[in-house]
Structure 1
Amino acid sequence: MTNPPGLMISAPASGTGKTTVMLGLLRALKDDGATVQPFKSGPDYIDPAFHLAAAGRSSFNFDTWAMDEKLLGGIAAKVAGADICIAEGSMGLFDGVATRGQTGFGSSAETALAMGWPVVLVIDVGGQAQSAAATALGFKMYNPDLPFAGVILNRVASPRHERLTRLGMERAGVTVLGALPRRGDLKLPERHLGLIQAVEHPDLEAAIAGYADFLRDNVDLSALRAAARAGPPMAAHPLPKPPAQRIALARDAAFSFTYPHLLDGWRAHGAEILPFSPLADEAPDTNADLVWLPGGYPELHAGTIAAASKFKRGLRAHAEAKPVHGECGGYMALGAGLIDKDGTRHEMAGLLGLVTSYEKRKFNLGYRRAVLEKPMAGFDAGAALRGHEFHYSSILEQPDPALAQVFDADGNAVVQTGSWRENVTGTFFHLITGEAP
């Protein structure tokens, strides 16, 4: 399969403005008539929904720590029909884990190398001028094998500031593709997991249109498109198989984080996905073979979930004979109780004994490798899974047996083992893929 040309939008660190640049670029190219395929490097499950809103095409994650060559190739097949691919990096360009995974360390640089896409580095030049060129040059030279398209200067204070910064870049031999003036209204709203969800943005369409106009006024889009390159052909492989034929999938503002490649793979293999909303007090379809509760923000809707009697009755009825699985927020909703940040306890479904609390925040972040001790939907005992965990909750009670032995990216055991009871299973990590046997 021949890939269309692509670029990796990255940065020296988080917080430099690459997401707003990404969204503006996607929309500006789309408005110019290009069919743009967005991607996200790394395990972030919030950004792809913003990419979809900006580009009009579903965005997929590439993850060189969790995914083997076959899965990367299957996801790469999503470029079919696109004129250009634009990927957004995670954290800093070379940031990854300390220990190699199935294929690598999980950095955005690895994704760019695998796909053959040159890097566009978004640099926050606030508080410096010519010195920013040293940062750019360091990133350009750190891995000479990595194609480097140039930089976009962000948060430029004045025409003089831009001129001085460009002089430094010229001396360093770094191409400047654009310079964005400092604007306080170009920051996306955030909450404790980072960006708010796309569906919660008060006026997402207007925001993205504004970003596109801003990019068009301050970035050389023609030069940027000319810098895009096509990587080597990759064999297209099937995406992961579904865990059941008919899957009742919770889908609303409280339960929204499922990796797009999984849903695409389930559908491609003929599974029927039956969405329902716990927040609207909807019960899962009684004809479903499996109920799957994704992660999301149940802590922000705990009172509504606790009062959703029809949802909880339907969930319990399903669990009497058929499997239920929850991950992260979905796992918490399957438990006995959830304590919100104000210390109020809300009664959850009670299918597991888990009690979690947000009253005292505990940061849980990182890749996870799990070896199942008990079968779960789609996987036998002994199967090894790859996933990612990101939440701020603490476990107060977990009386049920552990679902798996769970390890971080460096092989250290973690206490968030998941748990099971009869037909119900749950994990704190979001599933990315199962390892090949």
Structure 2
Amino acid sequence: MTPGLMIAAPASGAGKTTVMLGLLRALREDGLAVQPFKSGPDYIDPAFHRAASGRQSFNLDSWAMPRAMLSSLTAQAEGVDLVLAEGSMGLFDGVAEPGATGNGATADIAKRMGWPVVLVVDVSGQAQSAAATALGFARYDPDLTIAGVILNRVASPRHERLARGGMAAVGIRIFGALPRRGDLKLPERHLGLVQAAEHPDLDARIADYAAFLRAHVDLAALRDAAAAAQRDPAERWRFAPPAQRIALARDAAFSFTYPHMFGAWRSAGAEILPFSPLANEPPDATAEFVWLPGGYPELHAARLAAADTFRAGLAEHARTRPVHGECGGYMALGEGLIDADGTRHRMAGLLGLVTSYARRRMHLGYRRATLLAPISGLARGAALRGHEFHYSTILEQPDPPLASVSDADGNRVAESGSYRGQVSGTFFHLIAPAEDR
């Protein structure tokens, strides 16, 4: 089995993405084939992983993904030298009710795959006290291996000496100490990092991260700490495509897609036909199904409103064939979108939905859904698992609800999606058909 490590942290914002990208590139420069993964429902970080490693990164989600799916995805690591997985939030942060194979925490994936954890610990504002945090994480779950820590945001040689002393006193291994550098932080917006494709200097940034990690982290010791536990044999996981020719909106406004989904569809023989609404392109006229994924339509609402050829082509397709949108794609199918300044922009008008960013409210969490109407390839009554994350507010939703939706604890969620004829949309991003075991 391929050895691996989970790069995690006690909390969000500790710097694990910078560490992950630097390690991926540094090890690649050393001639290693490194397979990246991302724990949890994140559709932004995997694109950065791919830029750093040269390999497609896949999400692994213990709440939403059935066992066979996790097994099939981790089989992507066969034949490589090392696996590096990046955690989400804090190491043990998950939902109260376990899902398909766990509660969605990074620790679930690390245990299931047998990957030791390297904790990225932000020591700013503390020194020896950071050891108490690391010790607590090391003892919290005896079935989880904490290989050691990387100290981040170290202010001075004295600060490093004190922090190292605290870790040594409780027997926590240190793989490296990263001096504080404000210029290494990637810019963010309201749903996370600014997307990889929007960084003209991304490769240079990642090379800088790699040099920084190489100078301050013992890469050989990290490789030696990686472990390959015996895991379930790779199972074949299938997710039938909604059609054989799928038109996929793909540009800066529509970019939130899960690689596992389109990989499964391609493996089943489907052809993905990308088009750009921002470039005023219509979907391919031969497509049998149009998929508008999530993204940032609110940042490009004026251009979408002016994209007459896109809207006309979408309407022509919807007369005879299905269209589906997720989150930002759902909003783009509606009558109107009101941006943060209060300006209303015309959208496709295929659904009656009107949404507003002038009245921001965060919607975040796992979603269970049972379809009340079919989506192409998914029948009425199908049970789905997904994740919702947006700041828009529904002002109008006159069409029938598409699904009965609840959160991970079973509480009903008002954002049900809607449908009109063959056009449908949801605020949650589909991860997998439900299959609890």
Q: TM-score range by the shorter chain?
A: over 0.9
Residue of structure 1 in register with 2:197 after alignment: 199
Q: Secondary structure at the match of 2:284?
A: coil
Deviation at 1:85, TM superposition (A): 0.5
Residue of structure 2 in register with 1:363 after alignment: 362
| CA deviation string 1:80-104 (max 9, x = no partner) | 2211000000000000011111221
CA distance in 2, matches of 1:416, 1:170: 50
Residue of structure 2 in register with 1:417 after alignment: 416
The alignment status of 1:157 with 2:150, answered yes or no, reads: no
| Residue pair 2:67, 2:100 contacting (<8 A) in 1 also | no
Residue of structure 2 in register with 1:170 after alignment: 168
CA distance in 1, matches of 2:289, 2:229: 39
Residue of structure 2 in register with 1:273 after alignment: 272
Residue of structure 1 in register with 2:54 after alignment: 56
| Residue pair 1:239, 1:261 contacting (<8 A) in 2 also | no
| CA deviation string 1:60-117 (max 9, x = no partner) | 0000000111110111111122110000000000000111112211000000001000
| Residue pair 1:27, 1:209 contacting (<8 A) in 2 also | yes
Q: Secondary structure at the match of 1:75?
A: helix
CA distance in 2, matches of 1:89, 1:436: 23
| CA deviation string 1:178-228 (max 9, x = no partner) | 000011111110111111110112411111000000000000000001000
TM-score (norm 1): 0.98
Amino acid at match of 2:322: P
CA distance in 2, matches of 1:257, 1:187: 22
Deviation at 1:239, TM superposition (A): 4.0
The alignment status of 1:229 with 2:208, answered yes or no, reads: no
CA distance in 2, matches of 1:233, 1:42: 20
Amino acid at match of 1:361: R
| Residue pair 1:357, 1:396 contacting (<8 A) in 2 also | yes
CA distance in 2, matches of 1:256, 1:144: 39
Residue of structure 2 in register with 1:47 after alignment: 45
Residue of structure 2 in register with 1:115 after alignment: 113
Task: Extract unaligned runs of 5+ from structure 1.
Answer: none
Residue of structure 2 in register with 1:218 after alignment: 216
CA distance in 2, matches of 1:401, 1:231: 48
Deviation at 1:343, TM superposition (A): 0.4
> Which range is displaced more, 351-360 or 226-235?
226-235
CA distance in 2, matches of 1:50, 1:334: 29
Amino acid at match of 2:164: R
Q: How does 1:227-266 map to 2 (within 5 A)?
A: 227-234=225-232, 235-266=234-265
Q: Secondary structure at the match of 2:168?
A: helix
| Residue pair 1:239, 1:262 contacting (<8 A) in 2 also | no
Residue of structure 1 in register with 2:81 after alignment: 83
| Residue pair 2:100, 2:435 contacting (<8 A) in 1 also | no
Q: Secondary structure at the match of 1:280?
A: coil
CA distance in 2, matches of 1:377, 1:362: 31
Q: Secondary structure at the match of 1:57?
A: coil
| CA deviation string 1:32-64 (max 9, x = no partner) | 000010000000111001001000000000000
The alignment status of 1:309 with 2:308, answered yes or no, reads: yes
Deviation at 1:433, TM superposition (A): 0.4
Q: Secondary structure at the match of 2:278?
A: helix
Deviation at 1:431, TM superposition (A): 0.5
| Residue pair 1:302, 1:338 contacting (<8 A) in 2 also | yes
Q: How does 1:362-401 map to 2 (within 5 A)?
A: 362-401=361-400
Residue of structure 1 in register with 2:433 after alignment: 434
Deviation at 1:147, TM superposition (A): 1.2
> Which range is displaced more, 9-18 or 226-235?
226-235
| Residue pair 2:25, 2:210 contacting (<8 A) in 1 also | yes
Deviation at 1:231, TM superposition (A): 2.2
Deviation at 1:377, TM superposition (A): 2.0
Q: Give the 3 Å change call, closer, same or farther, for CA 325–38 of structure 1 in structure 2.
A: same
CA distance in 2, matches of 1:253, 1:187: 21
Q: How does 1:343-358 map to 2 (within 5 A)?
A: 343-358=342-357
CA distance in 2, matches of 1:48, 1:346: 31
The alignment status of 1:65 with 2:63, answered yes or no, reads: yes
CA distance in 2, matches of 1:377, 1:363: 29
CA distance in 1, matches of 2:119, 2:249: 37
TM-score (norm 2): 0.98
| CA deviation string 1:328-354 (max 9, x = no partner) | 000000000000000000000000000
CA distance in 1, matches of 2:200, 2:131: 37
Amino acid at match of 1:139: F
CA distance in 2, matches of 1:126, 1:334: 45
| CA deviation string 1:393-413 (max 9, x = no partner) | 000000000000000010000
CA distance in 1, matches of 2:197, 2:215: 27
CA distance in 1, matches of 2:381, 2:194: 36
Pairing partner for 1:5 from 3, 6, 10: 3
| Residue pair 1:133, 1:169 contacting (<8 A) in 2 also | yes
Q: Give the 3 Å change call, closer, same or farther, for CA 267–253 of structure 1 in structure 2.
A: same
The alignment status of 1:106 with 2:86, answered yes or no, reads: no
Deviation at 1:436, TM superposition (A): 3.8
> What is the aligned-residue RMSD (CA, Å)?
0.9
Q: Secondary structure at the match of 1:209?
A: helix
| CA deviation string 1:337-381 (max 9, x = no partner) | 000000000000000000000001110100000000100122100
| Residue pair 1:97, 1:105 contacting (<8 A) in 2 also | yes
| Residue pair 1:76, 1:236 contacting (<8 A) in 2 also | no
| CA deviation string 1:109-149 (max 9, x = no partner) | 00000100000000000111111111000000000110111
Identity %: 70
| CA deviation string 1:300-319 (max 9, x = no partner) | 00011111111000000000
Q: How many residues align?
A: 435
